[in-house]
Amino acid sequence: MQVQDIEKMLGLQGVSIKSLTYESTGNKNIARVQVEPTCYKQNCPCCQSDNTIKNGISGYRQIHHLPIAGTKLIIQAPRQRLKCKICGATYTYEYAFVSGKERHSKGVKAQIYKMSVGSTVRHCAETMEIPYSTAERFFKESVLKIAALVNTSTQAQVEQSSKLILGIDDFAIRKGHNYNTGIHDLRGESFIGIAKGRTLVELSEYMDKNPRLASLKPHAVVMDLAKVYHMFA
Ligand SMILES: [Zn+2]
Q: Burial-class residue 14 by CB neighbours within 10 Å (0-12, 13-18, 19+).
A: middle
Q: How many CA atoms lie within 13 A of 21 on its CB side?
A: 4
Spacing, Cα 38 to ligand 1 middle (Å): 21
Question: Are 12 and 47 members of one domain?
Answer: yes
- Residue 81 has a CB neighbour count (10 Å cut-off) of 15
Domain boundary at 72, 99, 126, which?
Answer: 99
- Report how far ligand 1's centroid is from the alpha carbon of 116 (Å): 40
Cα 96 to ligand 1 centroid, rounded to whole Å: 21
Report residue 44 CA to chain centroid gap: 26
How do residues 108-155 score in pLDDT, each as one tens digit?
A: 888 887 776 667 778 888 888 888 888 888 877 776 665 545 555 566
Residue ending a domain, choose from 52, 81, 99: 99
- Higher-pLDDT residue of 218 and 98 is 98
Domain that holds residue 93: 3-99
Is residue 92 located within the same domain as residue 25?
Answer: yes
CA of 135 to the centre of ligand 1 (A): 36
CA distances from 126 to 30, 132, 191 (A): 17, 8, 18
Going by the DSSP 8-state scheme, the letter that residue 29 receives in this structure is E
Same domain, 199 and 112: no
Domain boundary among 53, 71, 99: 99
> By three-state DSSP, how is residue 163 classified?
coil
Is the same domain home to 168 and 143?
no
- Taking a C-beta distance cutoff of 8 angstroms, is the pair 80, 89 a contact? no
Of 95 and 27, which is predicted with more confidence? 95
Whole-number Å distance, alpha carbon 18 to ligand 1 midpoint, is 29
The DSSP output letter for 157 is H
Q: What is d(CA 164, CA 121) in angstroms, rounded to the nearest whole number?
A: 19
Whether residues 56 and 82 share a domain: the answer is yes
Q: What is the mean pLDDT of residues 22-27?
A: 86
- 133 and 112 fall within a common domain: yes
Q: Which residues pair with 179 in a beta bridge?
A: 172
Together in a domain, 95 and 111: no
CA 15 to ligand 1 center in whole angstroms: 24
Examine the domain organization and report whether 173 and 216 are in the same domain.
Answer: yes
pLDDT value at residue 199: 83
C-alpha distances in Å from residue 76, one per residue of 16, 56, 105: 11, 16, 12
Going from the Cα of 41 to the center of ligand 1, the distance in angstroms, rounded, reads 13
The larger pLDDT score, comparing residue 119 to residue 44, is at 44
Q: How confident is the model at residue 48 (pLDDT cuts 50, 70, 90)?
A: very high
pLDDT for position 135: 84
Whether residues 41 and 10 fall in one domain = yes
Higher pLDDT, residue 100 or 57: 57
Judged against a pLDDT cut of 90, whether residue 18 lies above it is answered with yes
Kindly give the distance from the C-alpha atom of residue 94 to the centroid of ligand 1, in angstroms, as a whole number: 16
162 C-beta neighbours (distance < 10 Å), count? 6
| Total domains in the fold of the chain | 3
Q: Are residues 27 and 88 in the same domain?
A: yes
Q: What is the pLDDT of residues 61-82, one digit of tens each?
A: 999 999 888 888 999 999 999 9
Q: How far apart are the CA of 83 and the centre of ligand 1, in A?
A: 8
**From ligand 1's centre to the CA of 103, what distance in Å?**
27
For the residues of 77-94, what is the DSSP string, one character each?
A: EEEEEEEETTT--EEE--
**Which whole number is the average pLDDT over 97-117?**
84
Q: What digits encode the pLDDT tens for the residues 161-214?
A: 778 888 888 776 655 567 788 787 777 667 777 787 888 888 888 888 877 777
Residues 80 and 150 in one domain: no
Q: Are residues 94 and 17 in the same domain?
A: yes
What distance in Å separates the CA atoms of residue 181 and residue 210, rounded to the nearest whole number? Answer: 14
In what side-by-side order are the strands of the sheet with 165-172?
190-196, 179-185, 165-172, 220-223
- Confidence tier at 93 by pLDDT (50, 70, 90): very high
What pLDDT is attached to residue 105? 92
Report how far ligand 1's centroid is from the alpha carbon of 133 (Å). 37
Are the CB atoms for 46 and 30 separated by under 8 Å? no
